[in-house]
Structure 1
């Protein structure tokens, strides 16, 4: 999996490419560390367009990121198929904005 961070004004986007599993923790961690080191970021979107599968480790990574960002809103964008089903079963719609 790849995790590509882009920053514009006060908004950050992490684009995920490939299956979001434990094996992808290193690229996800690198992208989130860059994000946390950036000043002025107020909102974050994580783009799931190129993700077809995620596991429970990915859910844990999202929860840790949410904890580290505090009250900043996180939008999980373009969730569909199996990814959306996993997020729905885990009730992540209560913690993140999903579409």
Structure 2
């Protein structure tokens, strides 16, 4: 499986642990987990600890999640991103849209 999902119902926090590739191949799973006809969670954690490659569709998925979760009011943390991924996120300006840990 390329994506592991955990929903903490007490805190209403949805955690997505991405697999090795965060790209279009996980679009359906990502969409169903985050956007698929459900109300937004209170907060989200996107764990990139296992990700070795990420493409522009991954950036698009993160933007769709942000919009679904409330835009500027959204609580979305991106955690465990390696140096290269953090650089990609910063170049794309995502450090201004998301909390990077």
TM-score by length of 2: 0.84
Q: 5+ residue gaps in structure 2? A: none
**DSSP-derived class of the 2:54 partner:** coil
Which residue does 1:27 correspond to in 2?
29
Which residue does 2:38 correspond to in 1?
37
Q: Report the aligned-residue RMSD.
A: 1.8
Which residue does 2:94 correspond to in 1?
92
The reply on whether 1:65 has 2:69 as its aligned counterpart is no
Which residue does 2:2 correspond to in 1?
2
What is the deviation of 1:25?
0.9
Which residue does 1:83 correspond to in 2?
85
Is the CA contact (8 Å cut-off) linking 2:35 and 2:68 kept in structure 1? no
Which residue does 1:12 correspond to in 2?
14
> How many residues were matched structurally?
97
Q: Hey, what's the Cα distance between the residues in 1 that align with 2:74 and 2:93?
A: 19
What is the deviation of 1:38?
5.5
Q: Which moved more, 1:66-75 or 1:20-29?
A: 20-29
Q: Hey, what's the Cα distance between the residues in 1 that align with 2:56 and 2:77?
A: 19
Q: Hey, what's the Cα distance between the residues in 1 that align with 2:90 and 2:16?
A: 21
Q: Hey, what's the Cα distance between the residues in 2 that align with 1:17 and 1:46?
A: 11
Q: 5+ residue gaps in structure 1? A: none
TM-score by length of 1: 0.86
